[in-house]
Amino acid sequence: MKQVTPLVQEQLAADYRAGLGIYELARKHGLHRYTVSQHLAAAGVVMRRTITDKEKAKARELFESGTTYAEISRQLKRDPATVKKMIQSQDFDPSPRG
């Protein structure tokens, strides 16, 4: 793993927590994506998981059956904001059901 200064490692962690992805961090700091991941792990950063097609399908199924964002997030073990974005980014109407 390429060595970086503690200041760069802190900046990587702060940028990742602010929402930048691994590839964006690699470009910004001139590092390989694997190196970025290793430094984030070493800094104790909890990595975001990629949303799978299976999760998207399950979220859609639950949403269309009337399940709330909060309940979907509990079932998928995801943040409610992530679930809402996941559902709203799909090609169906996320308007309230009634």
Instruction: For the chain, give the DSSP string.
Output: -----HHHHHHHHHHHHTT--HHHHHHHHT--HHHHHHHHHHTTPPPPPPPPHHHHHHHHHHHHTT--HHHHHHHHT--HHHHHHHHHTSSS--SPP-
Per residue in 7-45, pLDDT (tens digit) is 999 999 999 999 888 989 999 999 999 999 999 999 999
What pLDDT is attached to residue 87?
Answer: 86
- What average pLDDT score do residues 42-67 get? 89
Per residue in 63-94, pLDDT (tens digit) is 999 999 999 999 988 878 888 888 888 655 55
Q: Which is higher by pLDDT, 98 or 67?
A: 67
Q: Which is higher by pLDDT, 98 or 15?
A: 15
